[in-house]
Chains A and B, each alone.
Chain A
């Protein structure tokens, strides 16, 4: 900290401009905003060097501006313009050095209209250092852990200073380069920063943008417009998304299981399997149904040669001899060989399910009036027909449909999260797609 009794203003030893001293005891360099001279705060503000041809970066904040960020009051004491060139592309951003007598020095970065707070991170980080060279040689995407958050490699950037004004705790030089290896976590970013003279680990937070601008008194049209999504910007996903995905998956499995159970609950036989010869058709069969609360089913299996079909017609009458329904079904058996190999199409079995309206003796009228070989219709082809009936069956369809619905829900949520994650990571320079 600085003694509150110490001087609060100086004159630039180069150009004579009056400069406020806003920072604390760790400030070593003061860059005059008027003439670009870097003054040594430790040695009577003697001129160290001079920044020339600086282009002022676009920022609505100025030296001396005060605002509340992360629950603390800060004052802007220094501004740096930074840029990174890669082939023909140029990225630029502005770092504002903020000072608080109690919380020290932090960076408020303005990048594509997004405000990020970055500060030195002294808590244990594992691994303790990741260099750009290590990233180059890594086969798998490097990761790190700190403060209970897991970070995965995001990008390496080489920044050079294009503009400086105000106070700094180190000595900025024009075109000084810093190499930053950044790793992205769920909430924050961890950076291994290698400057010309020191290495340090920093952690970055995405700030509540509107609140911070308002805190610094920047309102309306003065607020820079954001361009694109920042990887640190919070993704608007429900907080319990993982739970929802898990619960949907569990319910999908549960419903699938229920469907299997209902498939197995196929009731009891009311008409034992009876084999009819083709010559016995048409015929009438009777069976008793007691359970009207659940499904009854009629099962037909035809004896058919290869590539033949038969049409059966069924009429069911209830115990009062009133017809309940009639139905026609095609039975067929086809086999052959094509470019994909041998194939068969076996439709020799058909099942009719219905809800009995009352208990008693039901009568089944059965005929097989048509049939043929291949596409042709050239008369009955049925060798024989096996008929059976059951009652008290359940249906797997409703739970199966629900299982599909839950599975779709889980899949959709996973896809949503994936897409959101992919958007955060789209700026990463890691090549391998893992």
Chain B
């Protein structure tokens, strides 16, 4: 596995990962995305103000007993507050999204199109959704703006772009989240994690 370098300034950005579609360089502050095996400049990375964090980029952590290494960090603003989405890899190289907002921690994996819900029409609060044989009720719909990017990502995120998010909860406590993109909704399924169960390995 060779190392990945920033196409703009050449800084090392960690190991090359097959699913990477985008990189955001902390050194020169630019983002680039992969198209036809070529990195193309996409713009700026934004400023990531560092406060105390549960997870840090490239530092392995145990999340509810499973070891993950965060490789990308995207920060979204919902107006009065912000939350982080970490793109993290387990030891086998499988990727998950870990959302962290003031002690609320959710670990979710992308749902393949075959298992994803297919809502008809616009989503509404309380609406029922089906995924992997479980029923979910929409509990939250909001928009958020991407305000900072760092590291590598399996999808292209653009600084300053506003995304629509939806959260739906199952009686078991599982959380189904959707992110609206140009090609429709993308779905992620996972569980809440107790923040006290996120620790250094």
B49 and A24 form a contact (CB under 8 A): no
Interface stretch (choices B2-10, B34-42, B50-58) = B50-58
Interface stretch (choices B85-93, B96-104, B119-127, B157-165) = B96-104
Interface stretch (choices A97-105, A328-336, A358-366, A410-418) = A97-105
Known: A24-B81, A104-B104. A3 touches B173 (CB 8 A): no
Q: How large is the interface on B (under 10, 10 to 19, 20 to 34, 35 or more residues)?
A: 20 to 34
Among B152-182, those with CB < 8 Å from A are: 171-173
Distance in angstroms between the alpha carbons of A103 and B103 in the assembled complex? 4
B49 and A4 form a contact (CB under 8 A): yes
- CB contacts (< 8 Å) of A123 on chain B: these are 173, 192, 194
Q: B-facing mask of A36-66, CB < 8 A → 1, else 0? A: 0000011000000000000000000000000
**CB of A171 within 8 Å of the partner chain:** no
**CB of B44 within 8 Å of the partner chain:** no
Distance in angstroms between the alpha carbons of A24 and B173 in the assembled complex? 24
Distance in angstroms between the alpha carbons of A2 and B49 in the assembled complex? 10
Known: A5-B49, A25-B102. A103 touches B196 (CB 8 A): yes
- CB contacts (< 8 Å) of B102 on chain A: these are 1, 24-26, 99, 101, 103-105
Consensus secondary structure, chain B interface: loop
B53 and A102 form a contact (CB under 8 A): yes
A41 and B173 form a contact (CB under 8 A): no
Among A111-129, those with CB < 8 Å from B are: 122-125, 128
Distance in angstroms between the alpha carbons of A104 and B83 in the assembled complex? 12
Q: How large is the interface on A (under 10, 10 to 19, 20 to 34, 35 or more residues)?
A: 20 to 34
**CB of A70 within 8 Å of the partner chain:** yes
- CB contacts (< 8 Å) of A42 on chain B: these are 79-80
**CB of B186 within 8 Å of the partner chain:** no
- CB contacts (< 8 Å) of A27 on chain B: these are 80
Distance in angstroms between the alpha carbons of A2 and B51 in the assembled complex? 9
B173 and A124 form a contact (CB under 8 A): yes
Q: How far is the CB of A333 from chain B (nearest CB, A)?
A: 76
Q: How far is the CB of A194 from chain B (nearest CB, A)?
A: 17
B196 and A101 form a contact (CB under 8 A): no
A70 CB contact (under 8 Å) in B78, B79, B196: B196
- CB contacts (< 8 Å) of B135 on chain A: these are none
**CB of B77 within 8 Å of the partner chain:** yes
Give the A-B contact count at a CB cut-off of 8 A: 72
Distance in angstroms between the alpha carbons of A105 and B103 in the assembled complex? 7
Known: A3-B82, A5-B49, A24-B81. A102 touches B101 (CB 8 A): no
A3 and B101 form a contact (CB under 8 A): no
With both beta carbons as reference points, the residue of chain B lying nearest to A70 in the complex is identified as B196
Q: B-facing mask of A362-386, CB < 8 A → 1, else 0? A: 0000000000000000000000000
Q: A-facing mask of B23-40, CB < 8 A → 1, else 0? A: 000000000000000000
A26 and B172 form a contact (CB under 8 A): no
- CB contacts (< 8 Å) of A4 on chain B: these are 49-51
Distance in angstroms between the alpha carbons of A308 and B77 in the assembled complex? 104
A1 and B80 form a contact (CB under 8 A): no
Q: How far is the CB of B104 from chain A (nearest CB, A)?
A: 6
B194 and A1 form a contact (CB under 8 A): no
A122 and B81 form a contact (CB under 8 A): no
B103 and A102 form a contact (CB under 8 A): yes
A104 CB contact (under 8 Å) in B80, B82, B103, B172: B103
B82 CB contact (under 8 Å) in A2, A100, A128: A2
> Which of B49, B51, B80, B196 is packed against the most chain A CB atoms within 10 Å?
B80
- CB contacts (< 8 Å) of A72 on chain B: these are 196
B51 and A101 form a contact (CB under 8 A): yes
- CB contacts (< 8 Å) of B79 on chain A: these are 42
Q: B-facing mask of A60-100, CB < 8 A → 1, else 0? A: 00000000001110000000000000000000000000011
**CB of B195 within 8 Å of the partner chain:** yes
A1 and B173 form a contact (CB under 8 A): no
B194 CB contact (under 8 Å) in A25, A122, A125: A122
Q: How far is the CB of B107 from chain A (nearest CB, A)?
A: 12
With both beta carbons as reference points, the residue of chain B lying nearest to A43 in the complex is identified as B80
Q: How far is the CB of A106 from chain B (nearest CB, A)?
A: 8
Distance in angstroms between the alpha carbons of A1 and B171 in the assembled complex? 27
B81 and A102 form a contact (CB under 8 A): no
- CB contacts (< 8 Å) of B172 on chain A: these are 124
B171 and A128 form a contact (CB under 8 A): yes
- CB contacts (< 8 Å) of A102 on chain B: these are 52-54, 103, 195
| 4 tightest A-B CB contacts, nearest first | A25-B81, A104-B103, A122-B192, A104-B102
Interface of B with A (CB < 8 Å)?
49-54, 77-84, 101-104, 171-173, 192, 194-196
16 new A-B contacts, CB < 8 A, other than A100-B103, A122-B192, are: A1-B82, A1-B84, A1-B101, A2-B81, A3-B82, A4-B49, A4-B50, A24-B102, A25-B78, A28-B80, A71-B196, A100-B52, A101-B102, A123-B192, A124-B172, A125-B173
| 17 A–B contacts from the bound complex (CB under 8 Å) | A1-B82, A1-B83, A3-B49, A3-B82, A4-B50, A25-B82, A42-B79, A72-B196, A101-B51, A103-B195, A104-B102, A104-B104, A105-B102, A105-B103, A123-B173, A123-B194, A128-B171
